[in-house]
Every structure is written in structure tokens, then in C-alpha cells.
A and B are shown apart, each in its own frame.
Chain A
């Protein structure tokens, strides 16, 4: 089945850029997502990218997609302490009516003041 992999931890200093990486196996993925989860809370959609795009930028967030290598990254510029959370990469397949998401295990981002 589909698989999504992420590194489990990332630690950066406040003000630096954070880059969270994700790899996936489903070559038919249509959309790829980044979600943020703060402690004890649900998931907040940060951004998503369609599979025919290479890059998407939204304020401090930049998503890069290398479809050939099935590699997705999320760059957070000027990382703040409020960015500390778990970030999940997710992919959506292309099956008819498929809106199910497959999630990675999440990357815990710790921002050091």
C-alpha cells in the first residue's frame, strides 16, 4: 500500500529556516498536504500542492515537490516559537472518489528561543 515517510524530529533556532522533508511511494498521488498539529489539538491544514506543480509559496511557507523522486518538503522561513508543533505530510491518491489521505508519522519541530 501507499507509504509516507518523515523524519521524526527537527530542532531549529528561532529566526532560522526550518525544512521538513517527506517521501511517498504512491506515484499516482494527486495532492500532497502539510498539516500542523499542536499538543492535544486536531490538525490544521497549512498548505497543499497539486502534483503537477513544483513549488508553492504562501507567506513564510514554501512547498517544494520533486515528483520524480517522490519527495516533498516544507520550508518555514523565520521560524518562531509558535511554530513548535508536529507537522504531518499527507498524500491523496487518484482513485475514483478517493479523498482518503495517507499520513506520515509526523515531524516534531522544536524551536529554540
Chain B
């Protein structure tokens, strides 16, 4: 099956710094990538949808200036958490959908972000 790789798997950063998370589709071209956030014992909350070459569409309540998303190529999307604070600590998961008619989206392994 299609593989989506997220990097890093975990990161610890100081409050006020920025962190970049990468999401790559390894063996297919992803026209659309999704970024989710998962709180402990909670479901996944969609943060934003990004289409290659265009601006991301953010869900209501998600600060686009804080969570910068770039989808510059068909195989890479990045999420940058700017000026991170402890409340941004969470598990971030990306998923990617292949071009064409495949119905499923494939998920990365997630990134555990801890802001201290």
C-alpha cells in the first residue's frame, strides 16, 4: 500500500520557538494532504486541508498564522508550529490522498510535540 512518512516522530522544543513537521508521500503523488491534531484520549481533529500549489484551507478555530502549512510539491507538505507554547503540545498526524479515484487516505505515523 501507499506509504506516508512523517518526520520527526517526536520533538521537544522550548516555548517561543518554532517547529517544522514534514509529511511525505513516498510512493505516490498526493494532490491533497490533511493535517490533524489528536489530544490525549480524544479523536483526531482536522486542522487544515492543503492542496499542492495553493493555500491551505483551515478549519474554524485553527490559527493559520500559528500553524503554517506549505504544500510545495506533490510529495511533501510541511506544518510549522510558530512561537510554540505548552498548550500546543499534542500529537500531530498528516494524511495524504493520491491523485485519481482512490478513496482512502493514508496516514503518517504521527509526530509527538512537547513544548516545555
Contacts and interface: CB of A to CB of B under 8 A. Distances in A.
A42 B46 contact: no
Interface string A27-57: 0000101010000111111001010000000
Nearest to A50: B103
Contacts of B34: 99-101
Contacts of B46: 100-102
Interface residues of B, number: 23
Q: Which of A33, A40, A48 has the largest number of chain B CB atoms within 10 A?
A: A40
Interface string B39-62: 001111010010000000000000
A105 B42 contact: yes
B111 to A, nearest CB: 9
Contacts of A48: 103-104
A40 B112 contact: yes
Contacts of B93: 42-43
A44 B104 CA distance: 11
Nearest to B91: A40
Consensus secondary structure, chain B interface: strand
Nearest to B34: A100
Q: Which size bracket describes the interface of A in this complex?
A: 20 to 34
Contacts of A88: 43-44
Interface string B2-34: 001010000000000000000000000000101
A88 B97 CA distance: 18
Contact of B109 (A4, A41, A104): A41
Interface of B: 1, 4, 6, 32, 34, 41-44, 46, 49, 93, 95, 97, 103-110, 112
Interface of A: 4, 31, 33, 35, 40-45, 48, 50, 88, 92, 99-106
9 contacts: A40-B112, A45-B105, A88-B44, A101-B46, A102-B46, A103-B44, A104-B43, A105-B41, A105-B43
Given A42-B6, A101-B46, 8 more contacts: A31-B103, A41-B110, A43-B95, A45-B105, A88-B44, A99-B32, A101-B105, A105-B41
- What are the nearest 6 A-B pairs in CB distance? A42-B109, A43-B107, A105-B43, A42-B107, A103-B43, A42-B110
